[in-house]
Structure 1
Amino acid sequence: MKKIIFFEVAGGTDKGENGHRKDTMPMVNALIAKGYEAEVIFFDVEKREEIRQYMLANACAYVSRINPGNLVGEVEYFAMLRELCEHGIVGLPHPDAMVGYGAKDALVKLTDSNLVPTDTYAYYTMSDFFYQFPKALLHNERVLKQNRGSTGEGIWRIQLAEAVPTSATEVPLSTKIKCTEAKDNHVEYWKLGEFMLFCEQYIIGQNGMLVDMPFLPRIKEGEIRLLMLRNTPVNVVHKKPAEGANAFSATLFSGAQYRYDPPILWEKLITDFLAQLPMIQQKLGGYDIPLLWTADFILDTDDNGQDTYILGEMNCSCVGFTSELSLASKVADEIIACISEKRSLA
């Protein structure tokens, strides 16, 4: 029997005293207890060829436990994973699924569903940004999200801080705006054009982009995160922002309060979301649904005054479950199921 390999990277604040992520070894040990061979390899771009050869000779599957944005050699890592998948090694997840589900512009691919507002845009160039964003801001408050970063860094709520002429078709670049960053809910005042130039740092560079969507005021009631094990929700985290007029961030760093709920308490949201999973899977590249991933929702109100849920973000690059390590056995069962399904199709 070939091995199931878990990829990690050395160092980082997410590691325990043994050098591993706290949720990695529980999964490894759960697989071993179920009769499978499993081990951890620390990816090092300098040892890429050695690792590739070892995987081709010894592995039946890999589980990626690396946040690509923090990895030296991200391009090489993804290229190696693609090659391994092409050789029949089961990828959990496939590297292009990591991109499809994890990149912020996944939202733009879903605007023709009821999950994402139609006025949601992705900007890959400053020209596109300057063309569309002043028009969008004229109609409602906006949220800009950079593709990189974490814990709310580079996510900005944008509000007009002064009136705009009623005849305007877009917000003039000289208009004063109020900008609140989700990282810590701090407020800055800018002129629109100057702030947009400041945002160039988010657009330039590899995988640079900005996603622009309407601000949803009911974020104050909390963000709802589904932790998914493939197509099964295993828990729900209700993340309520801190009190305060400017607070909208749902991160622990910003003072948000977290509550862990059983999925049954969010039955309507989950039923609607699961019904749309085949559509989401197709629009995000047709790859297998990731092993562990999250989907974040914000409450909104539809035209009939009924509650609805807007998808704000998804992540599948390296979703952790350190607060619920008892899930390790379930995850191990799902890994085994993925391998068995691939074998039956071979």
Structure 2
Amino acid sequence: MTNAPPRIAIVWRGDRDARRAATPQNNRFHRIFEELAAVGLAPEPAVFDEEFADEVLEQLLAVDAVLVWVNPLDDGKTRKILDPLLRQVAVTGRFISAHPDVILMMGVKEVLYETRHIGWGVDTRLYRTATDFRQAFVPTFLAAGPRVLKQNRGNAGQGIWKVELIGAPADGETLISVLEAKSGSVPEAIDLSDFISRCESYFTEDGCIVDQPFQSRLPEGMIRCYLSGSRVVGFGQQLVKALVTPPSGPGREPLQPGPRIMNPASAEPFQTLRTRMEREWTPEMMSTLGIEAASLPIIWDADFLYGPPDASGNDTYVLCEINVSSVFAIPDEAPAEIARAMASRLIGPQ
């Protein structure tokens, strides 16, 4: 009699009907299901919603590992119920990717401040209270030029703002232009003090704001470096339009991003970035944050903008965020790498 293959629950958000109907084939993660099965694992859907959280908990306590794809903010819903549930499952010894505590170290904007000394870092400030923000940001902004402000947790560009001075302060007011990274946003002229008041909500529930200089090479695009554990599994390159000021004038439309072009880990244009991520920056991040290799997410990505060329004219790279909670879409090679990593953990080296 042979042992049953290890069971892997794949968690994503959906309603009751979606949970009833879910199969390994009828969802966007079907390639991951296929690759996990191909290496001798038994993946199963585990659609989550707060309405039936107890039912999901019961399911997760019956499997051997859990892979989670749930955004921190999704149509007004958060992970306030899901994260404690996952911690409860993790305490029993089951592998959770990504563990909520790892997300709180890696997958928040504060990581940009904590790792600012690494080669991907720039002049990054952190404000933990509204008072600190009001007192410290203004002189930095007035002296340093355009900045990008980021609330600690979010997705889809929510709470990420380009802030730029329109004119010299006059009559007690400082007029600025703000542009949110959320799709469909257009620039807005507002008094600096009023904008700071608008941002006070980002400090609730131990929130914070991270402040970085705006990168002038943003129109050249963003490179998304995908990793499974500490191993690069592919790249995505995209001409982003978030925080790029659209043309002014009547009938102006919000700019739309270009397609994300996926590339394998071996793609020649990205080998310098790959080497730095695998040999330098990921180990340095792990050491700084106190994350062990076994706790790294099964899939995550680091988003880079082009920084100023170095003295030799070579590209530099500036980290603008790390995504952990719900990394998808992914390169074609990534599902097999995810399966290999899971099989190595649960069965043994492949």
Task: Indicate the residue corresponding to 1:237 in structure 2.
Answer: 236
Identity of aligned residues (%): 26
Which deviates the most, 331-340 or 66-75? 66-75
**Is the 8 Å Cα contact of residues 173 and 193 (structure 1) preserved in structure 2?**
no
Deviation at 1:29, TM superposition (A): 3.1
2:80 aligned counterpart, secondary structure: helix
**Is the 8 Å Cα contact of residues 22 and 45 (structure 2) preserved in structure 1?**
no
Task: Indicate the residue corresponding to 1:107 in structure 2.
Answer: 112
Quick one: distance in 2 between partners of 1:62 and 1:220? 38
**Residue 88 of structure 2 is aligned to residue 88 of structure 1:** no
Deviation at 1:302, TM superposition (A): 5.7
Give per-residue Cα distances to partners, 1:81-110, cap 9 Å, x unaligned.
Answer: 222222211112222112222111111110
Deviation at 1:319, TM superposition (A): 0.6
Which deviates the most, 263-272 or 280-289? 280-289
**Is the 8 Å Cα contact of residues 160 and 181 (structure 2) preserved in structure 1?**
yes
Quick one: distance in 1 between partners of 2:44 and 2:242? 45
> 5 Å matches for 1:34-73?
34-56=39-61, 58-70=62-74, 72=77
Quick one: distance in 1 between partners of 2:115 and 2:202? 22
Give per-residue Cα distances to partners, 1:155-174, cap 9 Å, x unaligned.
Answer: 21111111359xxxxxx972
Quick one: distance in 2 between partners of 1:54 and 1:261? 36
Seen in structure 2, the aligned counterparts of structure 1 residues 173 and 282 have a Cα distance that, compared at 3 Å, is: farther
**Is the 8 Å Cα contact of residues 69 and 325 (structure 2) preserved in structure 1?**
yes
Please identify which structure carries the higher helix content.
Answer: 1
**Is the 8 Å Cα contact of residues 45 and 73 (structure 1) preserved in structure 2?**
no
**Residue 9 of structure 2 is aligned to residue 24 of structure 1:** no
In structure 2, which of residues 282, 294, 303 is the aligned counterpart of residue 296 of structure 1? 303
Deviation at 1:333, TM superposition (A): 1.8
Deviation at 1:59, TM superposition (A): 1.6
Seen in structure 2, the aligned counterparts of structure 1 residues 113 and 39 have a Cα distance that, compared at 3 Å, is: same
Deviation at 1:151, TM superposition (A): 2.7
Unmatched tracts of structure 2, length 5 or more: 248-253
Task: Indicate the residue corresponding to 1:198 in structure 2.
Answer: 198
Q: Which amino acid aligns with 1:88?
A: G
Task: Indicate the residue corresponding to 1:261 in structure 2.
Answer: 263
Task: Indicate the residue corresponding to 1:124 in structure 2.
Answer: 128
Deviation at 1:179, TM superposition (A): 1.5
2:156 aligned counterpart, secondary structure: coil
Task: Tell me the TM-score normalized by structure 2.
Answer: 0.81
Quick one: distance in 2 between partners of 1:195 and 1:158? 9
Deviation at 1:46, TM superposition (A): 5.0
Deviation at 1:314, TM superposition (A): 0.5
**Residue 14 of structure 2 is aligned to residue 7 of structure 1:** no
**Is the 8 Å Cα contact of residues 169 and 175 (structure 2) preserved in structure 1?**
no
Q: Which amino acid aligns with 2:14?
A: A
Deviation at 1:282, TM superposition (A): 2.5
Which deviates the most, 154-163 or 36-45? 36-45
Quick one: distance in 1 between partners of 2:100 and 2:160? 25
Unmatched tracts of structure 1, length 5 or more: 166-171
1:217 aligned counterpart, secondary structure: coil
Deviation at 1:239, TM superposition (A): 1.7
Give per-residue Cα distances to partners, 1:239-297, cap 9 Å, x unaligned.
Answer: 2245997259xxxx841223333433211122112222111112234142211111011
> 5 Å matches for 1:209-224?
209-224=208-223
Seen in structure 2, the aligned counterparts of structure 1 residues 244 and 130 have a Cα distance that, compared at 3 Å, is: closer
1:228 aligned counterpart, secondary structure: strand
In structure 2, which of residues 322, 328, 336 is the aligned counterpart of residue 329 of structure 1? 336
Task: Tell me the TM-score normalized by structure 1.
Answer: 0.82
How many residues align? The count is 326
2:64 aligned counterpart, secondary structure: strand
**Is the 8 Å Cα contact of residues 158 and 180 (structure 1) preserved in structure 2?**
yes
Q: Which amino acid aligns with 2:193?
A: G
Deviation at 1:326, TM superposition (A): 6.1
Quick one: distance in 2 between partners of 1:243 and 1:66? 22
